[in-house]
Structure 1
Amino acid sequence: MESKRQQKFAGVIQEELASIFQREGAAYLPNTLVTITKVRVSPDLAVAKVYLSFLNTTNTALSVNQINAHANEIRYKLGAKIRHQARVIPTLTFFVDDTNEYVQRMDQIFDKIAKERKEEE
């Protein structure tokens, strides 16, 4: 469970990363909209796991690898924005947020179960 401090710091990181990707996201992934869905910060605030959602891309794994290749550059830009709010700028690691896919898969399973029950009756 994250502490209030971690949650607050994660919120600051999420806001600032969102503005970075909004303004300069095309440099990393042209014609792709990147959304920061969640940020998890370690207890010492030194490591941040950033979960991303992509729109208008065919290969999300490739997109995440491309973003991770620019992680140091993104961290530098983040540091310039939050340098007065944080002592240590966290190391950023980016992951795909597959929550929407999971929800769709679960909906399909529930629909299938409901359909099978109707057929039994």
Structure 2
Amino acid sequence: MEGTRLQKVGRLIQKELSEIFQREGAARFPGKMLTVTQVRVSPDLSVAKVYVSIFPSTDTDKTLEHIRDNSKFLRGELGKRVRHQLRVIPELTFFIDDSLDYIEKIDQLLKE
């Protein structure tokens, strides 16, 4: 179970990464809309698992690989934004959040 502090740090990272993707997304990820759906932080605040939803959902693996290649840049930008709130900026690991695709699939099955 996550503590209050871990939740607050996770929400802070989610908010700031969302703004970074919004500002830099068009230039770095053309034709894609990226949404940070959830951030889970390890108890020692050294690793943050970032779940990203990608729209449109074509070539998500290629886009995720591109995000992972730019993780150092994203961590640096995050560090500039939260340097007064966090002492150590966690390592970012990115994962695809396919819950929207799953919901859409269930919805299509129910319509049949």
Superposition TM-score, scaled by structure 1 size: 0.85
Please tell me the residue identity of whatever aligns with 2:49: K
**Corresponding residue for 1:18?**
18
Please tell me the residue identity of whatever aligns with 1:9: V
Alpha-carbon distance between aligned partners in 2 of 1:5 and 1:68, rounded to the nearest angstrom: 26
- Per the alignment, in what secondary structure is the counterpart of residue 7 of structure 2? helix
- Residue 58 of structure 1 and its aligned partner are, at CA, apart by 1.4
- Residue 100 of structure 1 and its aligned partner are, at CA, apart by 1.4
Alpha-carbon distance between aligned partners in 1 of 2:29 and 2:108, rounded to the nearest angstrom: 31
- Residue 48 of structure 1 and its aligned partner are, at CA, apart by 0.4
Superposition map of 1:25-40 within 5 A: 25-40=25-40
Alpha-carbon distance between aligned partners in 1 of 2:56 and 2:105, rounded to the nearest angstrom: 20
- Residue 23 of structure 1 and its aligned partner are, at CA, apart by 0.5
- Residue 64 of structure 1 and its aligned partner are, at CA, apart by 0.6
Rg larger for? 1
**Corresponding residue for 1:6?**
6
Superposition TM-score, scaled by structure 2 size: 0.91
Matched, 1:51 2:51: yes
**Corresponding residue for 1:71?**
71
Partner deviation per Cα, 1:71-106 (whole Å, 9 max, x = no partner):
011000000000000011000011100111222344
**Corresponding residue for 1:99?**
99
Q: Which stretch of the first structure deviates more once superposed, 54-63 or 82-91?
A: 54-63
Please tell me the residue identity of whatever aligns with 1:39: V
Aligned residue-pair number: 112
Percentage identity across paired residues of the two chains: 50
- Residue 61 of structure 1 and its aligned partner are, at CA, apart by 1.0
- Per the alignment, in what secondary structure is the counterpart of residue 58 of structure 2? coil
